[in-house]
Structure 1
Amino acid sequence: MTKLTSPPLTMLDKYFGAGFEGIYTANVRATGGETDHGRASGIVRSDDGHLELDLRMPEAMGGPGGGTNPEQLFAAGYAACFHGALALIAAKNDIALPHMAVDVSVTFGRDPVDGMYTLTADIKIHLPGVDCEIAERLVRATERICPYAKMARQGIVNIVTLQAEPKRRP
């Protein structure tokens, strides 16, 4: 069994390259399942096999529930990333955060700008026993370095490519 350890503080070292330098790429495929609709009956699988989840429409959106959904997956990623970044900053500053928790709520709703849909995220940080001024400093520093917080604030490079397959003849 592999002993788990926290990432090294060198994760906080600055990068001074001329362009984006990828370090890790997660690859996940969504398929439509029974209804040919990823949100309603889909399955998401990572290429390494560590993630395989059934997707279902939540009851609040008229679905049956019984599976996860894109909002839960995004909230999970955001919470984990923010928690990890906050832990690194605290460790670099020799501040113990033994009971830290990060709650993220992602809400799917109507967008008044285009009449379609959008997401909102609400992040709640729990740092019991930490002085308020220190806690605020840690959280503000984390907002500046957490990739999910940066994406939510600044946007993300988003490249959509169609990989068309030739139509099969009967």
Structure 2
Amino acid sequence: MADHQFHLKAHFPGLRNSVGTIESGQLHTKVSIPPEMNGPGVGTNPDEMLLGAAATCYIITLAAMMERSKVKKKDLSMDSTAIVNETNGVLTYKKIIHKPTIVLTNRDNERDRDLALRLAKKAEASCMISRAIQGNVDIELEVTIK
């Protein structure tokens, strides 16, 4: 199996509270330190991007697993939250909480309900980003099936 390569160009000409840019494929944005960490809050930041990577990897993995398992859904959406802790000036990315909402075509279909819940849990363990951060960042799931 061949390796896949992804490239990113970053430019940050100023000091801590300056604004830089990143470019990678379809991603072109400004970057800076978030206001929660006394930064200018322009563009995105590493905390949002790690949360975005984890969330998009998880939801795409879940959608693919549901499709392969023929779970009939009307919709799949998710809210995700990252918890970053600061202790003695040291920042630690502690936890990500994914809250997927799966809307089934037939909510009375017990097979689809049970399978959707199992797949929601399995997708977290199968997602490439979840596996990459495993052991460093806890990931919690709060699944809603309608």
Structure 1 residue 135: deviation in Å? 2.7
Structure 2 residue 56 is matched with structure 1 residue 80: yes
* Partner secondary structure for residue 100 of structure 2: strand
How much does 1:69 deviate? 0.7
Report the CA distance shift for 1:117/1:136 in structure 2 as closer, same or farther (over 3 A).
same
Structure 2 regions of 5+ residues with no counterpart?
A: 137-146
Alignment pair present for 1:109 and 2:85: yes
Counterpart CA distance in 2 for 1:118 and 1:74 is 13
Q: Helix, strand or coil: the match of 2:75?
A: coil
Identity %: 20
TM-score by length of 2: 0.73
- In structure 1, what is the equivalent of residue 14 of structure 2? 34
| Structure 1 residue identity aligned to 2:13 | G
Q: Deviations over 1:127-153 (max 9, x none)?
A: 124565333211122123111122232
Flag as ranges the 4+ runs of structure 1 deviating above 6 A.
none
Higher relative contact order (CA 8 A, sep 6+): 2
Where in structure 2 are the equivalents of 1:125-136 lying within 5 Å? 125-129=100-104, 130=107, 132-136=113-117
Contact 2:66 2:116 in 1 (8 A): no
CA deviation map 1:107-130 (0-9, x unaligned): 332268xx7221121111111245
Partners of 2:38 and 2:67 in 1: CA distance: 44
Q: By percentage of residues, which structure has more strand? A: 2
Q: Which residue in 2 is equivalent to 1:118?
A: 92
**Structure 1, unpaired ranges of 5+:** 1-20, 156-170
Q: Which residue of 2 aligns with 1:143?
A: 124
Does structure 1 retain, via aligned residues, the 8 Å contact 2:51–2:81?
A: yes
1:45 matches 2:23:
yes
**C-alpha RMSD over aligned residues:** 2.4
| CA deviation vs aligned residue, 1:4-63 (integer Å, no higher than 9, x gap) | xxxxxxxxxxxxxxxxx454221113221332x4x74221122x4x22211122221112
* Cα contact 1:86–1:142 (8 A) shared by 2: yes
